[in-house]
Amino acid sequence: MLNFDFQNPTKILFGKGQIASITKEIPADATILMTYGGGSIKTNGVYEQVTKALAGRKVIEFAGIEPNPSYETLMKAVEIMRAEKVDYVLAVGGGSVIDGTKFLVAAVDYQGDPWEILTKPVRTTKAMPFGTVLTLPATGSEMNSGAVITRKSTHEKLGMGGPGLFPKFSVLDPEVIKSIPHRQLLNGIVDAYTHVLEQYLTYPAGALLQDRFAESILQTLVEVAPKILADPSDYQAASNFMWSCTMALNGLIQKGVPTDWATHAIGHELTALYNIDHAMTLAIIFPNLYRVRFENKKDKLAQYGQRVWNITEGTLEERANAAIDRTVAFLHELGAKTRLSEYTDDYAKSADFIEKRFTERGWKALGERKDITPAIVKEIVELSY
């Protein structure tokens, strides 16, 4: 097992009716900016619950944070925060609203051009306090310190983070799940599943407990995915789905093990280029990344195949290959498309474009062994057409 430090300060308020608890979590005298997205909270009862809990407080609303939150939209909120002397932010939404809010709390007092936070990138150690009410289980943003922000004008989607960006608290009420459209439920399942794979499907590091944490999250997602897609009001399935998504990316399972994250790096480019939903970019890329990096990953692939999919027959290589095939079949069973050409006709430019962009950024050594070069990225993307 590798050395690690682990600290996760986010308080989780889990379960039915917990939105009311935000009253006691936010200081009474705070000037609060409440951030949200395109309006789903206005039709599913979440907005009413939040405003009731904040009755009598000084609250300014900022709506319209879009999926794949943009720097352009967020800078308007930064101006409001400065003008109104906001000192607490409450994000009510999915990963995009929460990520956007992390940018706001980092940017508001940043000395310099806030886009530098993404490009340098700046590690944010101190930021304005914020809490979240999660409405879409997927990203884990509600209990981690990372965010991904898009600059529309340049088609760039970049990450940021730092210990100052953990939410003070997050409300996880599984009842919010019943209003989530099928497409976003599927995104949530696939995103969380891939988060586990990024931190688990590397090479054996002797971290027995972390491996079993990871496998148990995958097994739980496999079990609840069809149930939640069939009936998002199934509270039992919804609560397990929600907690699995949070646990998939709150830092715990990555401790003491190597991590990959190359699928996410490539996937962000596909979103920036073609506006494909984040999770679907992962479904396109990771099976082919595992095919191209097979020698590096075959030991863990075989372990994964055995423990999650009960694949016990054949040589190590055969079991590892069967694990990839079974995972792709799982994605198809859920309804995910796994080829880039199923999302866009304009796919043929992407491999060269991404290879060039990663080279220019100096991203020359991705993956758990730091050996995925831009040329290998190109090969993975081409295999994904």
The footprint of Zn ion (CB under 5 A) covers: 191
Among Zn ion, ligand NZQ, none, the one that 39 touches (CB under a kind-dependent 5 to 8 A) is: ligand NZQ
Residue 270: exposure state from Cβ atoms within 10 A (0-12, 13-18, ≥19): buried
Among 13, 50, 67, 202, contact with ligand NZQ (rule: CB under 6 A): 67
Q: How far is the CB of 84 from ligand NZQ (least distance, A)?
A: 23
Segment lying near ligand NZQ (by CB under 6 A), choices 47-55, 96-104, 201-209, 332-340: 96-104
Among ligand NZQ, Zn ion, none, the one that 287 touches (CB under a kind-dependent 5 to 8 A) is: none
Closest C-alpha among 131, 127, 218, 133 to residue 173: 133
Q: Give Cα 317 distance to the centre of its chain.
A: 30
Segment lying near ligand NZQ (by CB under 6 A), choices 141-149, 208-216, 345-353, 355-363: 141-149
The site map against ligand NZQ for 277-316 (x = CB under 6 A) is -x--------------------------------------
Among ligand NZQ, Zn ion, none, the one that 251 touches (CB under a kind-dependent 5 to 8 A) is: none
DSSP 8-state code for residue 145: S
- Beta strands (DSSP E) in the chain are 11-14, 31-36, 58-62, 88-93, 130-134, 146-151, 156-161, 169-172
Q: How far is the CB of 282 from Zn ion (least distance, A)?
A: 6
Q: Do the Cβ atoms of 195 and 138 come closer than 8 Å? A: no
Helix (H, G, I), strand (E, B) or coil at 151: strand
- The residue among 282 and 322 lying less far from ligand NZQ, judged by its C-beta, is 282
- The residue among 68 and 303 lying less far from Zn ion, judged by its C-beta, is 68
Q: Does residue 39 interact with ligand NZQ by CB under 6 A?
A: yes
Q: Do the Cβ atoms of 304 and 315 come closer than 8 Å? A: no
Q: Is 45 left (phi over 0), alpha (psi -120 to 50) or beta?
A: left
- What's the Rg (C-alpha) of the chain? 20
Residues in binding contact with ligand NZQ, number by CB under 6 A: 34
The site map against ligand NZQ for 322-351 (x = CB under 6 A) is ------------------------------
Q: Do the Cβ atoms of 263 and 289 come closer than 8 Å? A: yes
Q: Does residue 239 interact with ligand NZQ by CB under 6 A?
A: no
Q: What part of residues 108-137 is at the interface with ligand NZQ (CB under 6 A)?
A: 135-136
Q: Nearest 10 degrees: CA dihedral of 225, 229, 231, 234?
A: 30
Q: Does residue 106 interact with ligand NZQ by CB under 6 A?
A: no
Among 35, 144, 250, 263, contact with ligand NZQ (rule: CB under 6 A): 144
Tokens of 12: 């989780």
Instruction: Kindly give the residue spans of alpha helices, DSSP state H, lying in 249-293.
Output: 262-274, 278-292
**Interacting residues of 127 by C-beta distance below 8 A, sequence separation 6+:** 102, 105, 106, 109, 162, 164, 165
Alpha-carbon distance values, 362 to 240, 366, 379 (Å): 40, 10, 18
Among ligand NZQ, Zn ion, none, the one that 96 touches (CB under a kind-dependent 5 to 8 A) is: ligand NZQ
- The residue among 266 and 302 lying less far from Zn ion, judged by its C-beta, is 266
Q: Does residue 164 interact with ligand NZQ by CB under 6 A?
A: no
Distance (Å, rounded) from C-alpha 133 to C-alpha 333? 31
Segment lying near ligand NZQ (by CB under 6 A), choices 4-12, 166-174, 184-192, 301-309: 184-192
Distance (Å, rounded) from C-alpha 354 to C-alpha 363? 11
Q: Which residue minimizes CB distance to ligand NZQ? A: 37
In sequence order, the β-bridge partners of residue 157 are: 150
Q: Does residue 38 interact with ligand NZQ by CB under 6 A?
A: yes
Q: How far is the CB of 332 from ligand NZQ (least distance, A)?
A: 20
Binding site for ligand NZQ (CB under 6 A): 37-41, 44, 67-68, 93-97, 99, 135-136, 138-141, 144, 146-148, 176, 179-181, 184, 187, 191, 249, 264, 278
